[in-house]
Structure 1
Amino acid sequence: MSLDALFSPLTMGTLAMPNRVVMAPLTRARASAASVPLPIQGEYYAQRADAGLIISEATAVDPLGMGWYRAPGIWSDEMVTAWKGVTDQVHAAGGRIYCQLWHMGRLVLPDYLGGALPIGPSAIAGEGETMAPPTADYDGGFLPMKPYVVPRAMRQSDINYLVAAYGRAAANAMAAGFDGAEIHGANGYVIDQFLQSKTNQRQDGYGGSVENRVRLLDEVIGAVTAHVDPGRVGLRISPTSERKGMGDANPAALTEAIGALAQRHGLAYIHLIEPVASGFMEKPDYPVIAHLRAMFAGAIIQNGSFDAPTAVAHIEGGKADAISFGRPYIANPDLVTRLREGHPLAPANFDYAYVGDAKGYTDYPPYG
């Protein structure tokens, strides 16, 4: 089977990519305890610079949306300066990197907010549990887990503040030297919480109909594209995912509304999580890619349990223009070469997925 389709150039929006292998965002918890990026993150991304595009780990736009210990933010001047060091290393290695803009909404524990409740579209808790911040006697290793709590339903002032936070973060991403930005509208975080009907029970202009539920996303895209050329802006979505208590009554209609919105704003791409096999996320019974293609003329990146043959099949079949790989990038900094030349992939040590420093992060060697 020829793999040429995966390694052919692609112009996505205004970005020229040498191949169609995208490094998916991977939260690895290597920033400082104050959420400031560290130089080792630049080394990590530079090792993977032969990807057609690197999408950074989820990067919080505001302290209220940060609920992951040692994940990075981009709301302060200190963070901008630190991220500039990271993007400089990627560019020196010949790579391209977008900043994924993130707010966790209801999935933030009060432990990260000085005891205050997190915010969300409605007072409905996420399902499951998440990592709490370390206690005073923490000496490394995995963090304690706590269940999600019922959030405070957002007022209009909260929504206005959130939209402005995305705008500030987008401006900061440009100042930090990123080549573009991806809006994180997937995986059960705040934008996804507004989009899906199970988590959005609002009775105002942001809830009810699908047209109302995409309103926050519309405003966020407007705030981001005020600072970043739409040809360098993407959107990540997972409309069929039910993880963490998500769910929508009509994912196909939601997908069409999102696609129409992205088309109107002229976004470069939509990054669709629609797995070809169940794993981190379930393979959907009713895929929505055809609904997205019907409404959106930009590029589509597909994500979810792909290997080289399935990636090529999706590109050649018109279901994707590029494919993003997440977990394979953990232990394979030279993933593009390994896929192109058919070398075996190294296994990741997940004991160090979210803890540690260089170990399990920058110490995976290239093939041979």
Structure 2
Amino acid sequence: MDGQEYDSDTVIEVRAHDSLTQIDARDWDACACAEATDGGAPNDPFTTHRFLLALEQSGSVGPGTGWQPRYLTAHAEDQMIAAAPLYAKSHSQGEYIFDFNWAHAYEGAGGRYYPKLQIAVPFTPASGRRLLTKPGFETTGQSALVQGAVQIAEHHGLSSLHLTFCTAEEVAPGKAMGLMHRASQQFHWHNDGYDSFDDFLGSLSSRKRKNIRKERQTAQAFGGDIISLTGDDIQPEHWDYFWEFYQDTGSRKWGTPYLTRAFFDHLHDTMRDDVLLVLAVRDGVPVAGALNFIGRQSLYGRYWGCTEHHPCLHFELCYYQAIDAAIERGLARVEAGAQGEHKLARGYLPTQTHSLHWFADPSFARAIKQYLDAEAEAVEEEIEILTSYGPFRRDTYEDQE
């Protein structure tokens, strides 16, 4: 029956695990990234066994972090058919789908919002499948995972379950299973079949085109070289420099960086082929860097930092170098992370993202549903308005419609 949905009489067993070491990497990845069995990149590098294990073994998640692993797997007839990166959360940090107001309202009404359950990739606002199913078992696997997570929440008296940055394709089945949909937005760059960066610039208005060229010239005159590294070209010492960059940015944004130094060593050992590291090097020493992950169709910009501040270098390393890399690799888009309307002028357009939510308290769930309906209309309107202010020539917009 491999590759086919099971009938209603088949028993599906859902198991929770407190460590990925309890789950065979081949079984997990058969659900998370079956498309990569041909040796290519996974659609979503962040749900691979190796990425999630790097978070766990580096101590970036686990005791003391507020992200306690409770990975779910679903099994039928001696095979694993589905999996989900589930965590018990004692706070709402590192999620990028903000529910602080929900927590405040819930606790103001006398409830206990934390701990809650979260199906997500920690510290990673990148869209991808969250209900990971072996091909052919989508319906059975998704249902088993959601039911299993809700049962865990109910059994332990937890307030809620959240699936953040799921795919658009997961929204309809999620809603059919009683989850509520939340719409949000990010800025993504879309590859319209460009042959080069200049080809991309040709799609922009004259003023925006000139501004980007000026920014690139300014950045590249910082006094050194900009290099892009992946695979074995990345050396262990590069992570020493990048750790300095990450600490600088993390301390300013979050107070305490989410990731540990050991996480980057795990990246080097198990994922350097999935990484594109862009460095600005002056006098032989990296002074700024941007870390990207390479997916099958997307380049994911994740972290940036510097030890020297140079005009426009952030734009060059994070946005323009990413566009160059995506065009060179034939990737469909660049996802540049959460927030940042400054990305709009640089060719990154607002794109809807999705999450799914469940609350144990029916009254609170009804209030949240009303809020989400109103928020969805506002997000749709905001995307429309922001897109109209984008940098593209008017005839380019017409071609994209």
Same fold (TM over 0.5): no
TM-score by length of 2: 0.28
Query: Which has the larger helix fraction?
Result: 2
TM-score by length of 1: 0.30
Which of the pair has the greater relative contact order for Cα pairs under 8 Å at 6+ separation?
Answer: 2
Query: Which has the larger strand fraction?
Result: 2
